[in-house]
């Protein structure tokens, strides 16, 4: 028995509408899962105590969802003491001092790692870079670069979810801070604040700069080395 053409067209239209509705729901579900993955690591707070030669002490705190802290290793989503220690220990010239964790609240965990380093530039990776440059005349310049890539385009939705959340970088220098684009906390300490609400969903390259006095006076040999370096 052949079905009338009009009825076949109506059934076809209903199927297309159902499929379209299904695709919309699936897209929304994928978006929510992506958002949950994105906000699983809510904040990162880095502190460094820097020496004039680029060596020093550091501590990095991650504030994350409890589910990410206890995620199975095979899912490769876990952020915990062991994972942080493993990442830092792989860096050239880095030595892990201690790690720890504590409840931030009923849903979030604070996980941290403390370490010593011989050269802060070795902490650099695909999304961050650190340098210390000798400017001469007893002055040096610290620079930090952060690459933020916004893979999600639902910026307005994400902004409300990230309201009041921020990450920070705090550096204590060996000498007096001369100039910076950060917030001066003391004569030797600078804080940079990265508000998540402002940058979420965007492609942004952030630069943190501070010039400071080197506690070690520049000798004749150091001047010669710096001039040779500037030539090449």
232 residues of the chain, pLDDT tens digit each:
555 555 555 555 454 454 555 455 445 444 444 444 444 457 889 999 999 899 999 999 998 888 777 777 655 667 888 888 998 999 999 999 999 999 988 888 899 999 999 999 999 887 889 999 999 989 999 999 988 766 554 555 555 555 567 889 999 999 999 999 999 999 999 999 988 767 666 778 889 999 999 876 555 665 666 566 555 5
pLDDT of residue 50: 95
- Indicate if 35 and 45 belong to the same structural domain: no
Of 230, 232, 167, the residue nearest 198 (C-alpha): 167
Please name the residues in contact with 223: beta carbons below 8 A apart, sequence gap of 6 or more: 136
- Indicate if 228 and 132 belong to the same structural domain: yes
CA distances from 87 to 27, 121, 123 (A): 34, 15, 10
- Indicate if 112 and 131 belong to the same structural domain: no
- Indicate if 50 and 74 belong to the same structural domain: yes
For residue 82, the enclosing domain spans 41-120
- Indicate if 17 and 100 belong to the same structural domain: no
- Indicate if 10 and 114 belong to the same structural domain: no
pLDDT of residue 133: 94
pLDDT of residue 156: 55
- Indicate if 224 and 201 belong to the same structural domain: yes
- Indicate if 184 and 151 belong to the same structural domain: yes
CA distance 55 to 53: 6
- Indicate if 219 and 141 belong to the same structural domain: yes
- Indicate if 128 and 114 belong to the same structural domain: no
- Please give the structure tokens belonging to residue 125: 């990776």
* CATH code where residue 144 lies: 2.60.40
Of 75, 70, 152, 81, the residue nearest 115 (C-alpha): 81
């Amino acid at each position: 028995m052949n079905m009338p053409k009009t009825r076949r067209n109506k059934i076809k239209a209903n199927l297309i509408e159902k499929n379209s509705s299904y695709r919309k729901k699936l897209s929304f579900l994928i978006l929510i899962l992506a958002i949950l993955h994105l906000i699983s690591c809510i904040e990162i707070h880095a502190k460094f105590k820097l020496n004039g030669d680029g060596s020093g002490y550091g501590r990095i705190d991650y504030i994350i969802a409890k589910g990410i802290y206890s995620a199975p290793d095979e899912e490769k989503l876990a952020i915990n003491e062991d994972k942080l220690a493993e990442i830092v220990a792989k860096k050239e010239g880095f030595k892990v001092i201690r790690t720890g964790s504590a409840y931030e609240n009923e849903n979030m965990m604070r996980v941290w790692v403390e370490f010593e380093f011989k050269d802060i530039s070795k902490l650099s990776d695909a999304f961050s870079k650190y340098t210390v440059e000798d400017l001469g005349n007893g002055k040096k310049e610290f620079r930090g670069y952060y690459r933020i890539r916004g893979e999600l385009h639902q910026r307005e939705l994400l902004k409300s979810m990230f309201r009041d959340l921020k990450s920070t970088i705090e550096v204590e220098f060996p000498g007096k801070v001369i100039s910076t684009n950060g917030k001066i906390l003391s004569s030797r300490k600078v804080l940079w604040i990265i508000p998540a609400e402002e940058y979420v969903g965007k492609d942004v390259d952030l630069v943190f700069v501070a010039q400071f006095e080197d506690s070690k006076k520049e000798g004749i040999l150091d001047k010669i080395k710096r001039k040779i370096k500037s030539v090449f």
